[in-house]
A and B are shown apart, each in its own frame.
Chain A
Amino acid sequence: MKETKIGLKVEAKVRTTPEINKLFLPGELGAVLDWQVRDSKSGEIVREGIKKAESFTRQFFDLLLVKFLNIPALSPISIRDTGGNYQEICNGTVIFATDALAGDSNFGIVVGTGAVAPTISDYVLGALIAHGAGAGQLQYSIGTWGAPASDATTSQFTITRNFANASGGGITVNEIGLYVKAPTGAPWLASSGSNTIRYFMTIRDVIAGGILVGNGQTLTINYRPQTVI
């Protein structure tokens, strides 16, 4: 009898953006999340991934309503911040701001190690990874943006942030989120310090299996809010 040989060919293929876009229903407002882990010395991509972002949280709708309704200072609405406290929010120019500077893990794209599935009521990451070079820490870069663009069906812009691992050991990122600003207090007193900036989580995603960021490697994350017609 002739020997039968059975072989298994494993092929790992990264999904391209058009494939991800097929997951969007016509008229859907969502986001694409993609990431790359690079060796900090060589720049070589050691791993990457892309997925449709899972979850706008209720805070996104809360803040969108503040803009849609132009909520006045005399009748603010209560929104839960990343500290778990309800803040009185009215319309202001810094609502939805993600312009975090390097080292600021209070807002912008943030990462964590929590792995519990997202819910609409989530207001904070399960376990935020702090900024720094110590054990279990990542170095948060400044946030940057890609201007809006469109093709025949899709309109999107991009928010980007880098996280460098100088901790001495590997760190597995299980969750990615977006924290944004909103002010409490009178919105017209922006420069006087009479209002206070609070932070609110608008998106949270859990990555199945996590993203391993080795010591000396840098994780780049892109959130791309988009609409599809």
Chain B
Amino acid sequence: MIRTLLTVKHFSHEGQLLHKHQDWSKSFLKHFIEGLYLSHAQIAGATPYIATDGDVPGSLTRLVDGYQSPSAGAPYIYPKVNLRVVGPGGGGGLYAPNGGEGAGAPGFPAVLQGTFLPGYNIGIVVGRNNTAVTPTDKALVDRVAHGRNGSVAVAASIDSVLVGDTTDSSYAVNNALIGFIYIPKRSFTLTRADFKVFRSGNPGNVTANVACIGGLTASAAAVDTAPIGTSDVVDANLWGNVSPGAWVTFTFSTPVKLKAGFAYFIYIFPCQVSAGNRVNVRTIAVTPAVGRQIYGTAAASGGAISTGNFQWLYDLWGTAGAEMEHGATDIYGYSVVNPNASFIMRRIFMNNSGEAITVQEAGIYIPLAHYITGLGGFDFNAFVFCAARDIFAGIAVANGESLEVDYTPSITV
């Protein structure tokens, strides 16, 4: 059998051990079993497994696989990052290579094609919530994000692009959407989104929406436009009708969690109700051209999507928790002495947020792979899932203090 010991050590600013929690981990989850299944059953990219119990950023169903079949056109197969636990600290990038490459020897440009996952989104993670664990937990309930920021208890502007607009953008297709790819620099709960807009004719009622990229439909334009959050309805007929427009607020009465390092898609729908009755958005023409603005013909998943090289003006408001800086997740201490074997997975968290953080959950995030042709350079080769989650009595980590979290799996025959 294999059991895993969870050890959480709390250190003072001077490195003195203040407290040690140690107990058997209760919780390798279904996603860990799925990771083993993909390898044992050699689930191929052409016939992926449907992970219905949701990924970390949006609780989305994802296609995942464990094997890429070589072919005459792509004989070079890179290993999948499935089940990887170790990773760099902070925002250091973890590269998840594409499955197969062309007939030539792997070249530098080909190697770069893939997904870079921030190190803080892989490996050991900690959080604030002690809701009971279930086998299908999708993420830590209230994860402590990486960083040095203090909390934002009352909704405030978290991230914005307020000036520099050069161009009016619109999409003259009925019942279509127009939006942009957004990768949060810090995790926060979105309560309000402001855009600089004006109307042509009478567009009627519109909403702002947040979706996750790279969803279930492995289409050539793989944006999962089924939203994870929708704003209150806004009457666009009340907007001004002259460029450069004015700032308009979209309120999210049901706030939406946005998690740092994951790609989301924020869009207005519908961008046009009939010819001449549409939404116009102030944007910045982007150089070099990297597709950021997205427009498509359907609100449902899998609709045809195109990209344009424009950066929206936006002001995103919300609340956020205090952060802890994440070190690297590493593995060491592999020991085999009959009848036992064990190794240690470790990560250190530093609280430099300026305030105390009470930690009472820990877990492990892993990538599971599947190739999705992305938009504007955003290919996706791997998605992040929660492989383990534990809860324990809260540990109040004051500013300047740190936590060391160890998972030690051990076999006993």
For B336, give its contact among A54, A94, A120 (CB under 8 Å): A120
Taken residue by residue from 12 to 42, chain A's Cβ proximity to chain B (1 for < 8 Å, 0 otherwise) reads as 0000000000001111111000000000000
Name the CB-closest residue of B to A96.
B39
Q: From residue 113 to 165 of chain A, which have CB atoms closer than 8 A to chain B?
A: 118-121, 145, 147-148, 150-157, 159
For B2, give its contact among A28, A97, A119, A156 (CB under 8 Å): A28
With A190-B70, A192-B75: A229-B135 Cβ-Cβ less than 8 Å: yes
CA distance A199 to B339 in the complex (A): 22
With A94-B42, A153-B135: A68-B78 Cβ-Cβ less than 8 Å: no
B336 touches A58 (CB 8 A): yes
With A98-B40, A152-B134, A190-B70: A93-B79 Cβ-Cβ less than 8 Å: yes
With A27-B24, A96-B36: A148-B30 Cβ-Cβ less than 8 Å: yes
Inside 8 A of A192's CB, which chain B residues have their CB?
75
A68 touches B413 (CB 8 A): no
Q: Does B240 contact A (CB under 8 A)?
A: no
For B36, give its contact among A25, A118, A157 (CB under 8 Å): A157
Q: Does B220 contact A (CB under 8 A)?
A: no
Inside 8 A of A99's CB, which chain B residues have their CB?
41-42
Inside 8 A of B248's CB, which chain A residues have their CB?
none
Taken residue by residue from 70 to 84, chain B's Cβ proximity to chain A (1 for < 8 Å, 0 otherwise) reads as 110001111111111
For the residues of A in contact with B, the DSSP-based class is loop
Inside 8 A of A121's CB, which chain B residues have their CB?
336, 338
Name the CB-closest residue of A to B66.
A93
CA distance A93 to B81 in the complex (A): 9
B341 touches A120 (CB 8 A): yes
How many chain B residues sit at the interface, stated as a range, is 35 or more
Taken residue by residue from 56 to 90, chain B's Cβ proximity to chain A (1 for < 8 Å, 0 otherwise) reads as 00000000001110110001111111111110000
B345 touches A154 (CB 8 A): no
Q: Does A4 contact B (CB under 8 A)?
A: no
Q: Does B171 contact A (CB under 8 A)?
A: no
Q: Does A185 contact B (CB under 8 A)?
A: no
A155 touches B2 (CB 8 A): no
Q: Does A166 contact B (CB under 8 A)?
A: no
Inside 8 A of B28's CB, which chain A residues have their CB?
27, 29, 155, 227, 229
Inside 8 A of A110's CB, which chain B residues have their CB?
none
B30 touches A26 (CB 8 A): no
Q: Does A70 contact B (CB under 8 A)?
A: yes
For A70, give its contact among B30, B67, B81, B341 (CB under 8 Å): B81
Q: From residue 148 to 207 of chain A, which have CB atoms closer than 8 A to chain B?
A: 148, 150-157, 159, 180, 187-192
CA distance A64 to B133 in the complex (A): 24
Taken residue by residue from 305 to 342, chain B's Cβ proximity to chain A (1 for < 8 Å, 0 otherwise) reads as 00000000000000000000000000100101011110
The interface of chain A, by Cβ under 8 A from chain B, is 24-30, 52, 54-58, 60-61, 64-65, 67-70, 90-99, 118-121, 145, 147-148, 150-157, 159, 180, 187-192, 225-227, 229
The 4 closest A-B pairs by CB, nearest first: A191-B70, A96-B39, A155-B30, A67-B83
- 20 new A-B contacts, CB < 8 A, other than A67-B82, A67-B84, are A27-B26, A27-B28, A28-B1, A29-B2, A29-B32, A56-B1, A58-B341, A61-B409, A68-B331, A90-B79, A93-B80, A94-B42, A96-B39, A119-B413, A152-B134, A153-B135, A157-B36, A187-B79, A189-B77, A226-B33
Sample (17) of A-B pairs whose CB atoms are under 8 Å apart? A27-B4, A29-B1, A30-B1, A67-B35, A68-B84, A68-B331, A91-B79, A93-B80, A96-B39, A97-B42, A98-B40, A145-B37, A148-B30, A155-B136, A157-B37, A180-B40, A190-B75
